Amino acid sequence: MNYSNKINSEGFEIIDNVYSDFEINQIISFIDQKTSQEQSISTFRKSKELFAIRQFHKEIPKVLPHIFNQNLINIIHATFGKDYFITKSIYFDKPEKSNWFVAYHQDLTISVDKKIEVDNFENWTLKQNQYAVQPPKDILEKNFTIRIHLDKTTKENGALKVLNKSHKNGIVRVENIEFKNETETICEVEKGGIMIMKPLLFHASNKTTNNERRRVIHIEFSNKKLPNELEWSEKINLLNL
């Protein structure tokens, strides 16, 4: 099914039943195996509020064929086409008693392999030996993100909340938003479901209040070639999985 109309209009879509319970348990087993063996990897971030794995698909490559089941491949191809590739992935584990929250923001950076002077690429950072940079708006507008939910996600355990249609306004400073004029949606997703969103959509999440765990795999996609000698540092072609 093609979900492009809703995504282009509202900036997001929620799709349930992309994975069976068996498939979700397989994915979780790969993650648990990796995290039980190694705790000091630079891409791991662990605290009582949050556990995260950056460069997730590079750290646990064996999980990718299980993530990209036929359901997900069909959704991507029908909605966006066959020329998109992975550009970034992060695994989030928000524990049962987490007080960690994220304020409203847009996802404005991409992961690249080096720092070089490129017109309209700005706000460079370096984390875990990987460069990130804010590219021109036209790259961000073409990208999309898929969030795979390994647990049922509700407003009580930190489901994303979004400002509908806010991706249409380009890059905006959050202090310039008139929140009273915005439509907010809390994006509750069943276990085994996904959320697709545009990076310029304003999104946030609240603290956990119901003592229920929330695990999400966040994967970003693009079909854009970067200029000069700049390359996507986490690029993997879906055809190679």
The answer to whether 35 and 213 are in contact (CB under 8 A) is no
Write out the CATH class of domain 4-37+44-240: mainly beta
Other beta carbons within 10 angstroms of residue 220's beta carbon come to 19
- Average pLDDT of span 163-192: 97
- Average pLDDT of span 107-131: 94
Predicted TM-score (pTM) above 0.85 = yes
Residue 47 has pLDDT above 80, yes or no: no
Residue 204 CB-density burial (10 A; 0-12 exposed, 13-18 middle, 19+ buried) = middle
Q: Which two tokens stand for residue 189?
A: 């997703």
Amino acid identity at 124: W
pLDDT classification of 51: cutoffs 50, 70, 90: confident
Of 194 and 32, the one with more pLDDT: 194
What pLDDT score does 42 carry? Answer: 53
- Average pLDDT of span 65-87: 97
> 101: which DSSP letter?
-
Residue 228 has pLDDT above 80, yes or no: yes
What pLDDT score does 187 carry? Answer: 98
Of the listed ranges 11-20, 82-91, 177-186, 232-241, the one predicted with least confidence: 232-241
CA-based torsion, 46, 52, 11, 126: positive or negative? positive
Ramachandran sector of residue 46 (left: φ over 0; alpha: ψ -120 to 50; beta: rest) = beta
| Beta strand spans in 2-105 (E) | 12-15, 44-46, 51-54, 85-94, 102-105
What pLDDT score does 37 carry? Answer: 64
Nearest to 11 by CA among 134, 195, 220: 195
